[in-house]
Amino acid sequence: MFSGLKKMFGSEPKAAPPPAPAGENPSTSPATPPVPDAALPSGLAAFLCREPVFDRKNRPVGHLFRLRQTTSRAALQRALDQALLDTLLGAAETPAGLVFVPLGSDSLDLPAVDRIASANFILLVELAPDADGAALAARLGELAERGIRCGLFRQPKNPAFALAIGQAALGAIDVAASDPAAVRDFSAAIRGNRQQQLLFACGIDTLDDHQLCLQWHYDYLQGRFAASAPPRPAPAGGDPHKMLLLNLMRLVQGEAETAEIAEAMKHDPAVAFRILRYLNSPALGLTHRIDSLSHALIILGRQRLTRWLSVLIFSVRQPELGDWLLVEDALTRARLMELLGAQLLPGRSTDPLFLTGVFSCLDRLLHLPLDKALDAMPLADDVRAAVLERRGPYAELLAVAEACASLDPPRMEEAARQVGLDAETLNRALLAATAWAAEVTEHWE
């Protein structure tokens, strides 16, 4: 339980691992090298986009990952599929939860597919116009025997679809490209197969479409519907729990004495309990038990306490769709800025970058303009300048983090160019940040 917390409070982040050569995994070498036609042309920028996937209870269960280029070229799909798998398999760690990977059916013979060892991976296969149904069914069956789950996108006009769908673990549909009757009929057909297949719906752009998919028993749901969910109403007078945490941050970052901070913490027993539990966990291996908040603050230090509090501010009891998106955005952009800062600003503390990322989302959390949300918060000048005015030494990295959340490849390319980042380095850092954010929220109670 404390593995994620231990990583959260490390003194400095490790830089994102250097890119592995194409087709190689640091932990496992492929039996055969990647085929020549699966290489991206030199200079082509392809950026990693990750989108949350929810279950029927509106809880996040994983992410759908794609590589998107600034100029669409259908002929490069196989190379993009190879590059996407190389990015995911070459990462030091992949995000907690399910990893949904869209691939063309022509890419199922790529060597990288045979290197997948995690049961968390689910391949979502889109049929090529000339797909061989019998060969595809055999390949899907072979992968299933090895524990690799595959979904097949609904393409009823493709002759291969009827031959291969029986070997797929999931039936998938693009809701944005389908009419409601097709969404309904596809669900009925898959559930009528009696093969315990699951249903995956992507491209759900509206809450009405989301409700339709719930009505027809879709298990996994992805799309912009979550962002259009109405925000949770702000409590009258503000959320007292969050107000207390913000006050603690003011004390920690100001000139308050340790005794004053410890006294303020007593007003939130949950925060005090979490700090003491963390410090006394086997993960830290302290030789003496910590029984007082004053002692805990000395051991923890103000920097790590600020980090702890900034993360806890975004914790929500019984979170809704919009809450999950806000939490993921805030923690991912904070960690991404920290990881990139370790590479681009060597020798400088990355804690201000983490706080810049977190505080840039504070207006959405508190339902206040940013200047009001940060009122009386004793932030460093560079952090305040980046968050409020988008200027100063942290502003460009904040622009990178915001661009990654936009799913807009041209915007990502321009932001990365401004700080001298190539697409591959940014992709690996984003994947590491996503994994960290997922692990931290997975251990919330």
Is residue 31 over pLDDT 50? no
Measured CA to CA in angstroms, residue 20 lies from 29, 94, 179 at distances of 11, 15, 42
Query: Model's pTM, two decimal places?
Result: 0.83
Q: How far is CA 322 from CA 185, 231, 292, 326, in A?
A: 29, 6, 37, 6
**CA–CA distance, 111 with 127 (Å, rounded to integer):** 19
pLDDT higher than 80, residue 90:
yes
pLDDT (tens digit, 9 = 90+) per residue, 384-422?
Answer: 999 999 999 999 999 999 999 998 999 999 999 999 999
Per-residue confidence band for 8, with pLDDT thresholds at 50, 70 and 90: very low
- pLDDT at position 74: 59
**Residues 364, 293 contacting (CB under 8 angstroms):** no
Q: CB-based burial of residue 354 (10 Å sphere; 0-12 exposed, 13-18 middle, 19+ buried)?
A: buried
Of 401, 404, 375, the closest CA to residue 390 belongs to 401
What SS3 class is residue 221? strand
Counting Cα atoms < 13 Å in the Cβ hemisphere of 277 gives 10
Which of 424 and 271 is assigned the larger pLDDT?
424
Q: Where are the alpha helices (DSSP H) in 192-320?
A: 207-215, 240-253, 258-265, 269-279, 293-300, 302-312
Average pLDDT over residues 42-51: 83
Q: What is the pLDDT of residue 237?
A: 60
Tell me the two tokens of residue 242: 């969050």
Q: Which of 20-24, 172-176, 350-354, 378-382 has the highest mean pLDDT?
A: 172-176
**pLDDT tens digits, residue range 289-317?**
887 878 878 877 888 788 888 888 887 76
Instruction: Count how many Cα atoms sit within 13 Å of the Cα of residue 150 in the half-sphere of its side chain.
Output: 29
Mean pLDDT of the chain: 84
More confident residue, 140 or 19: 140
Q: Return the SS3 of 18.
A: coil
Q: pLDDT at position 188, please? A: 96
Question: Is the per-residue pLDDT at 78 higher than 70?
Answer: yes
- Pick the closest to residue 51 from 271, 240, 238, 223 (CA basis): 223
Q: Give residue 92's pLDDT.
A: 79
Q: Would you say 403 and 396 are in contact if contact means Cβ atoms under 8 Å apart?
A: no
Nearest-angstrom CA–CA distance, 154 and 140: 15
